[in-house]
Amino acid sequence: MLKHTLLHPEISAILARAGHHAKVLIADGNYPASTTLGPNASLVSLNLRPGLVTVSHVLETLLTAIPVDAINTMGIPADDPYAQQGDPPVWADYRKILSKAGSSLPLEPISKWDFYKAVQSTDHVLTIQTADQALWANVLLTLGCRV
């Protein structure tokens, strides 16, 4: 019987095989997940209907099961109309989830195109596609060491 809240068997199996520095993308509903997988990555689709499941749901669940060394968000390009509005509201939710999980990790935005490159790396082991409709909701986790 598992003590953490992650019950999905395929996600659990992939994470069990992953090691330090492995990357896990939790993608929003707009992310082109099927065309941006890294060469060693699996895609698990949890996009049941618009808005269900969200990146926040998945993040909260994964943090009960894995150690995380870094959490990157997709940075908003300066020429994007959304860039003048500050951080997307969903990032505040992520900060609350991290705090609730006892993590002091900061959200570290990386530029949109560098984010895509990071996802396509050989370290990328899993993309979890959600149906999140929030803008700029993608999160890239770098796994840490079990202590």
Domains, the chain, ordered by start: 9-143 (3.40.1650.10)
What is the spatial distance between Cα 118 and Cα 97, in angstroms, rounded to a whole number? 23
State the average pLDDT over residues 16-34: 96
pTM: 0.96
pLDDT grade, residue 1 (50/70/90)? low
The 10s digit of each residue's pLDDT in 55-67 is 999 999 999 999 9
Backbone angles phi, psi at 12, to 5 degrees: -60, -45
SS (H, E, C) 73-111: EEECCCCCHHHHHCCCHHHHHHHHHHHHCCCCCCEEEEE
Say if residue 119 is preceded by a cis peptide, omega within 30 of 0.
no
Using alpha carbons, select from 25, 41, 40 the residue that is nearest to residue 130: 25
Query: pLDDT tens-digit profile of 78-87?
Result: 898 888 888 9
| Nearest residue to 74 via CA among 134, 125, 15 | 134
Q: Which amino acid is at 104?
A: S
Confidence band, pLDDT 50/70/90 cuts, at residue 73: very high
CA gap 147, 145 in Å, rounded = 6
